[in-house]
């Protein structure tokens, strides 16, 4: 077997979730194919951040034929570049990008402390964007500032010819002043409103009788077009799911379609009860894109036991003949070919993390640290240390989907912490233990192994701590 770190580095060249390095926190992913690469634009959290979106915008890209080879494109826009943000109190919330009629790339965003849309522009997909202006009416009044306007939030954009469709909105539960997601049409300058906002999907307070009940619009509007149909992707009132609505017209007629993905696999009943959450969730934001002939949904997950250190993930999705999208599972392998069951893997690629007390939402206070495991990292924000799972108390489990097992006879784990007992290996979340690995107290990472024969074939694998204390789980290996 290769050295622990060398083996991890090699295995992470496969398709894995999260798809960026574990020390990078880019949620709200909007993927686009430009040329022969896919570029992902998102907000930028920090490890141990205090609030959402504390960083400047960065961009990552990958070849369309190798979604395991992501490249850092660097900082593309700083929050001090917006003229209204001189005191830096505004954070750069979720952005979107559209190519203008002039071939340039336009970056749309809303600062955290305002209610209007800013725009930056660049000649290349991931170059240095420069401030361009604010979306405004023909009289110069900013969209969101005119009396009667609802505040702008989370812009999503789609250009067709000389018209750009701008989707915005935020609708919190109990707030009747917010009606739903809005669509505004901009002219060829990518800034000036030529058709006023109309509502295209209702918020929770106005969803009765619309078909959106129970999955009404909350935030994160995004738009894509496929086979002549407009797909409006959004985060619903349940927070953890990305839903979609479909219409023949970008400005009206959207009908609720369903949930594409839940960051906790809620709604999936093929391997557990539909209402059982398998990863700690909060808000969600992302979109879908056709990459090299296949469609994918990009979303994010929450780490470090808070709302403010989110990591991007994606899964392959499928369309039925009628254009509907079945909900897909969250996986460690992007819903693509299973991972090789050889060598070492870091524990942070877990797609499932739970105890015998199933919890859906990441709490807002620190009490979660006392009860539940979490993905975290050593060092500070930006330190290039592989993530790991902390605070695995007795009964805590981490699950991974999927591996292609062939001739596995031994399983190794990396652990540390004030804990003593066993890590039980299972092939389903509530299945029988097929083998156990003894673990001891350790002040630094320690490798422990046991002879465990895993049947050949494609399967999930689960590691459950049994004993006492609290365990830090660094990774695992097969040989």
Q: What is the pLDDT of residues 94-109, one digit of tens each?
A: 999 999 999 999 999 9
Query: Is 4 a residue whose pLDDT tops 90?
Result: no
Task: Look up tokens 């007795």; give the residue.
Answer: 394
pLDDT of amino acid 366 = 52
Could you tell me the domains of the chain? 18-317 (2.115.10.20), 339-478 (2.60.120.260)
pLDDT at residue 1, as a whole number: 45
The answer on pLDDT for 250 being more than 90 is: yes
Stretch 222-240: mean pLDDT, rounded? 98
Question: What is residue 370's predicted lDDT score, i.e. its pLDDT?
Answer: 74
| Interstrand relation of 433-439 and 442-451 (parallel, antiparallel or unpaired) | unpaired
C-alpha 310/C-alpha 52 separation (Å) is 9
SS3 435: strand
Distance CA 452, CA 25 (A): 35
CA–CA separation, 72 vs 37, rounded Å?
13
Average pLDDT of the chain is 97
Choice among 3-12, 79-88, 436-445 with the minimum mean pLDDT: 3-12
Radius of gyration of the chain (CA): 23
Q: Residue 3: which pLDDT band, with cuts at 50, 70 and 90?
A: confident
pLDDT for 329 equals 98
DSSP secondary structure, 108-132, as one string: EE-BTT-SS-EEEEESSTTS--EEE
The string of pLDDT tens digits covering residues 312-364 is 999 999 999 999 999 999 999 999 999 999 999 999 999 999 999 999 998 65
What average pLDDT does range 23-42 have in this prediction?
A: 98
Q: Which token pair is 349? A: 């690629």
Q: Which residues are catalytic?
A: 28, 219
Q: Is the pLDDT reported for residue 365 higher than 60?
A: no
**What integer is the mean pLDDT of 429-434?**
98
pLDDT at 276: 98
Model confidence at 441, in pLDDT bands (50, 70, 90)? very high
- pLDDT of residue 58 exceeding 80, the answer is yes
In this structure, what token pair is assigned to residue 41? 């634009």
pLDDT tens-place string over residues 115-125: 999 999 999 99
> What's residue 288's pLDDT?
98
Q: Which pLDDT does position 363 carry in this prediction?
A: 64
C-alpha span between 344 and 326 (Å, rounded) = 33
**287 confidence band (pLDDT: 50, 70, 90):** very high
Residue with token string 């108390």: 393
Residue among 267, 316, 262 at smallest CA distance from 292: 316
Closest CA to 358 of 348, 347, 373: 373
Predicted confidence (pLDDT) per residue in 459-472, tens digit: 999 999 999 999 99
At residue 198, the pLDDT reads: 98
d(CA 195, CA 252): 13
Between the alpha carbon of residue 213 and those of residues 176, 209, 258, 391, the distances in Å are 16, 7, 11, 38
- Helices and strands (H and E) in the chain: how many: 2, 31
Q: What does the pLDDT read at residue 364?
A: 56
- pLDDT tens digits, one per residue of 153-201: 999 999 999 999 999 999 999 999 999 999 999 999 999 999 999 999 9
Structure tokens at 311: 């990591």
């Amino acid at each position: 077997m290769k050295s622990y770190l060398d083996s991890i580095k090699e295995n992470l060249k496969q398709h894995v979730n999260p798809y960026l390095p574990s020390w990078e926190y880019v949620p709200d992913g909007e993927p686009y194919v430009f040329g022969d690469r896919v570029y992902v634009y998102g907000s930028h959290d920090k490890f141990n951040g205090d609030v959402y979106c504390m960083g400047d915008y960065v961009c990552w890209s990958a070849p369309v034929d190798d979604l395991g080879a992501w490249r850092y494109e660097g900082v593309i826009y700083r929050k001090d570049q917006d003229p209204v943000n001189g005191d830096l109190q505004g954070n750069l919330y979720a952005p979107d990008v559209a190519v203008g009629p002039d071939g340039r790339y336009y970056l749309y965003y809303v600062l955290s402390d305002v209610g209007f849309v800013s725009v930056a522009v660049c000649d290349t997909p991931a170059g240095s964007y420069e401030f361009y202006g604010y979306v405004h009416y023909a009289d110069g009044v900013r969209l969101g500032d005119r009396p009667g306007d609802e505040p702008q939030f989370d812009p999503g954009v789609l250009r067709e010819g000389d018209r750009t469709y701008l989707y915005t909105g935020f609708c919190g539960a109990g707030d009747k002043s917010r009606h739903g997601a809005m669509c505004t049409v901009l002219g060829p300058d990518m800034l000036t409103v030529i058709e006023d906002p109309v509502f295209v999907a209702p918020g929770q307070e106005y969803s009765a009788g619309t078909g959106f009940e129970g999955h009404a619009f909350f935030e994160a509007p995004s738009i894509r077009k496929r086979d002549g149909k407009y797909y409006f992707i959004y985060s619903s009132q349940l927070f953890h799911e990305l839903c979609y609505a479909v219409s023949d017209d970008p400005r009206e007629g959207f009908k609720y379609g369903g949930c594409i993905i839940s960051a906790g696999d809620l709604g999936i009943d093929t391997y557990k009860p539909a209402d059982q959450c398998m990863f700690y969730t909060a808000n969600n934001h992302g979109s879908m894109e056709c990459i090299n002939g296949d469609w994918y949904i990009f979303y994010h997950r929450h780490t470090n036991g808070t709302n403010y250190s989110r990591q991007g993930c994606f899964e392959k999705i499928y369309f039925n003949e009628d254009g509907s999208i079945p909900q897909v599972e969250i996986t460690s392998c992007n819903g693509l070919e299973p991972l090789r069951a050889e060598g070492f893997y870091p524990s942070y690629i877990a797609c499932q993390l739970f105890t015998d007390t199933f919890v859906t939402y990441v709490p807002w206070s620190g009490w979660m640290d006392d009860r539940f495991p979490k993905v975290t990292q050593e060092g500070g924000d930006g330190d290039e240390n592989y993530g790991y799972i902390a605070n695995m108390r007795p009964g805590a489990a981490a699950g991974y989907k999927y591996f292609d097992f062939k001739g596995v006879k031994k399983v190794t784990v990396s652990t540390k912490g004030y804990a003593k007992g066993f890590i039980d290996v299972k092939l389903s979340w509530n299945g029988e233990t097929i083998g156990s690995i003894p673990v001891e107290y350790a002040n630094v990472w320690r490798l422990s192994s046991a002879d465990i024969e895993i049947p050949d074939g494609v399967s999930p694998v689960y590691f459950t701590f049994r004993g006492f204390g609290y365990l830090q789980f660094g990774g695992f290996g097969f040989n």
